[in-house]
Amino acid sequence: MVHRILLWGMVVAGVVGPVVAGAQTPATDPQNPFRFELEEAQSPFRGRAVEGYVYNNLPWRITNVRLRVESVDPAGRVTGEASGWVVGDVKAGGRGYFFVLVSSRAATYRATVQSFNKVALDTPQFEAP
């Protein structure tokens, strides 16, 4: 079972690919199950970090979402790497918050989903008129 989860995480990370951080939210790509909205943050209590949201474009509610954040210099070289978790479950079509500590400032950051677990297929909630 652990091997399947690791294999699934590797497949997802390879298919998803890195997403370059930006102030604007990019349009949803049907080929990419995740998109990111992130920025550098500085906290007097926690230190330098990258915080933001991951958007879940999958039809499942997911949990245990593990992220990798790469620090990238102006030439496009990766200068650092950090990992962290998304807080709580992320509904299908929803978003989840994350705060990942990084060691140093970078020109930009790239985030990828390393792994996650499916909770349930999310279906739309219909309300009576």
Distances (CA, A) of 39 to 26, 56, 69, 105: 14, 18, 11, 11
Q: What is the distance between the alpha carbons of residues 81 and 100, in angstroms, rounded to a whole number?
A: 10
Q: What is the distance between the alpha carbons of residues 48 and 50, in angstroms, rounded to a whole number?
A: 7
The structure's pTM equals 0.70
Domain residue spans in the chain?
2-20+32-121
Specify the CATH number for 2-20+32-121; select among 1.10.3470, 1.10.1660, 1.10.760, 2.60.40.
Answer: 2.60.40
Using 50, 70 and 90 to split pLDDT, how confident is the model at 123? low
Segment 87-112 shows an average pLDDT of 95
Segment 111-123 shows an average pLDDT of 92
pLDDT for the residue numbered 14: 46
- Mean confidence (pLDDT) of the chain: 80
Question: Is the model more confident about 8 or about 67?
Answer: 67
pLDDT for the residue numbered 122: 82
Q: Is the pLDDT of residue 34 over 70?
A: yes
pLDDT for the residue numbered 46: 86
